Amino acid sequence: MTGTTHPDVPSGITVRRWGAGNGDGLVIDVDTHGGPSVHGIGVEPPPDASRANGPTWAYVIEDDGVTLIDPGHLGSIDFLADGLNVFGMKPSDVDRMVVTHGHWDHDGGVAEFADASGAEFWAHELWAAYSPYSYGQLLRADKSLLRIEMTRIGERMRDTGPRTYGGSVTKPTGNGKPGGGRDNYEAMRSAMKLDRGLVDGFKHGAIEYLHTPGHWPDEMTIKLGNLIFTGDHVLPEITPHPSMAYSHPTDLSASLPDRYKNPRDVWGLMAYLKSLHRVCQLGKGLTVMPAHRLFNRNQFRMTDERRAVETIVFHLERCDALVRAIEDGYTDLELATRELFSYRPLTGSYHLMSAASETISHVELLEDTGDMVVHDVEDGDGVRLELTGSRHYRDVIGDLIPD
């Protein structure tokens, strides 16, 4: 199929096939100024997965063989294969799959695609360490006051209705195929084996793999010339969810290389902000190729490395907002969360728990900088957030913002 021109197509992008207004089914070529050929596919989620952020963008790089970045959800292989066909490829033409990080909309399609293609599976070496553990297992293994309180918040919401994703109640796919369901995904993930575990700075052909944890411990940013494939690390329109600062389960900690023994190096808001700072230092004039929102509301949402700076500033401002909320008397974690996210209706358990985990990531940073203390209340049911009066976090985060 020949390329298509359109007034709203940015320089450096050629549309092979138009798709939905959120990017589902859209297929593009990306100009590398004489470098390897790069293609992008908006891989539609299966029916039982969230559609809040549109498709997962899979990228194909033709350099020393064919590399596929992020195959998408379990249950999306037909959409991915259809996109490959637009530029004359089939799954068996792919030599290796690389996932930017271990979330179900990125690595969920690995097993299906491996079966269909015979491609090798590459990811950061921490992917293998964490693959046997579900999010729930990590949450239960961490006995911090904030994690215990988050569990209580979830229990209080348990009877308010079915869990929702992006406003849609989860439901079976109805076609007998595995879909985006967590149970299917977690069974697949725990059974998958890495063909190559990558480390920071690994190079293959013209591609360089950089470890940028914080959204998730194994997240990578992939650099090819002036393109950076950021997974969920840097996104247009929205700010990615920072992780909380987990403690490693004992058996996991024992298996980790020494360079990952300190969980604060790979988990939590500070780890995420440091990774954003690293992206800021990669150079100027870089084009971000994100895993979500590359195209949304019938427009391309192109951005560059300055988006990493904007995201750091956003989290500085969110810390400011959290401090103001506590000054105004919102010292209970759930109440502080609802105040911090007052612009969103946190009526379902999924949305409240997601908001609470992000609030916790900011509380943890303020604890680390000495600006906040978390107390267990006397009756053992809840925590109280207390400011110390200092504002060290402003200097700590400010040092990560380039001049």
Of 239, 272, 304, the position where a domain reaches its end is 304
Calculate ∠ Cα 357-148-332, nearest 5°. 65
Beta bridge partners of 204: 207
Instruction: Check whether residue 297 and residue 349 sit in a common domain.
Output: no
Cβ contact 351:332 at 8 Å: no
In a domain, 141, yes or no: no
Dihedral over Cα of 376, 242, 68, 40: its sign: positive
**Predicted confidence (pLDDT) per residue in 301-345, tens digit:** 999 999 999 999 999 999 999 999 999 999 999 999 999 999 988
Beta bridge partners of 168: 165
**Predicted confidence (pLDDT) per residue in 343-379, tens digit:** 988 888 888 999 999 999 999 999 999 999 999 987 6
The CATH code of the domain that includes 357 is: 1.10.10
Confidence of residue 6 (pLDDT cuts 50, 70, 90): low
Reported as type and span, the H/E element at residue 148 is helix 145-157
Instruction: Check whether residue 290 and residue 190 sit in a common domain.
Output: yes
Instruction: Check whether residue 175 and residue 27 sit in a common domain.
Output: yes
Instruction: Check whether residue 120 and residue 231 sit in a common domain.
Output: yes
Average pLDDT, the chain: 91
Pick from 363, 365, 325, 361: nearest CA to 341: 325
**Predicted confidence (pLDDT) per residue in 186-227, tens digit:** 888 989 999 999 999 999 999 999 999 999 999 999 999 999
* Range 27-47 average pLDDT: 96
Range of the domain at 81: 13-133+171-304
Q: Name the token pair of 202.
A: 């690994």
What is the rounded distance in angstroms from the CA atom of residue 32 to the CA atom of residue 238? 26
What is the rounded distance in angstroms from the CA atom of residue 380 to the CA atom of residue 248? 24
Tokens 């690390």 belong to which residue?
Answer: 233
Higher-pLDDT residue of 33 and 403 is 33
Instruction: Check whether residue 90 and residue 219 sit in a common domain.
Output: yes
Instruction: Check whether residue 97 and residue 241 sit in a common domain.
Output: yes
What is the rounded distance in angstroms from the CA atom of residue 257 to the CA atom of residue 259? 5
In a domain, 205, yes or no: yes
- In sequence order, which residues have a C-beta less than 8 Å from that of residue 313 and are 6 or more positions away? 401
Reported as type and span, the H/E element at residue 98 is strand 96-98
Confidence of residue 169 (pLDDT cuts 50, 70, 90): very low
In a domain, 1, yes or no: no
Of 281, 304, 327, the position where a domain reaches its end is 304
Give the SS3 label for residue 48.
coil
What is the rounded distance in angstroms from the CA atom of residue 274 to the CA atom of residue 376? 30
What is the rounded distance in angstroms from the CA atom of residue 190 to the CA atom of residue 134? 9
State the pTM of this model.
Answer: 0.92
Pick from 341, 321, 344: nearest CA to 394: 321
What is the rounded distance in angstroms from the CA atom of residue 83 to the CA atom of residue 94? 13
Instruction: Check whether residue 37 and residue 59 sit in a common domain.
Output: yes
- For 340-378, letters b (16+ CB in 10 Å) and e give bbeeeebebbbbbbbbbbbbbbbbbbbbbbebbebeeee
Q: Name the token pair of 365.
A: 């940073």
**Predicted confidence (pLDDT) per residue in 246-284, tens digit:** 888 888 888 898 999 999 999 999 999 999 999 999 999
Residue 236 has pLDDT above 60, yes or no: yes
Beta bridge partners of 223: 208, 228
Residue type, 301: R
What is the rounded distance in angstroms from the CA atom of residue 261 to the CA atom of residue 255? 9
In a domain, 3, yes or no: no
Pick from 286, 291, 284, 282: nearest CA to 234: 291
Beta bridge partners of 296: 299
- DSSP-assigned states of every residue in 171-192: ---SSSS--S-HHHHHHHHHH-
In a domain, 5, yes or no: no
The CATH code of the domain that includes 246 is: 3.60.15.10
What is the rounded distance in angstroms from the CA atom of residue 56 to the CA atom of residue 128? 22
Instruction: Report pLDDT for 1.
Output: 35
Residue 3 has pLDDT above 80, yes or no: no
Instruction: Report pLDDT for 7.
Output: 53
In a domain, 2, yes or no: no
In a domain, 240, yes or no: yes
Instruction: Check whether residue 79 and residue 156 sit in a common domain.
Output: no
**Predicted confidence (pLDDT) per residue in 379-393, tens digit:** 667 899 999 999 999
Instruction: Check whether residue 52 and residue 99 sit in a common domain.
Output: yes
Residue type, 281: Q
In a domain, 232, yes or no: yes
What is the rounded distance in angstroms from the CA atom of residue 76 to the CA atom of residue 61? 20
Of 261, 285, 304, the position where a domain reaches its end is 304
Instruction: Check whether residue 186 and residue 269 sit in a common domain.
Output: yes
Instruction: Check whether residue 125 and residue 273 sit in a common domain.
Output: yes
Instruction: Check whether residue 202 and residue 294 sit in a common domain.
Output: yes
Give the chain's domain count. 2
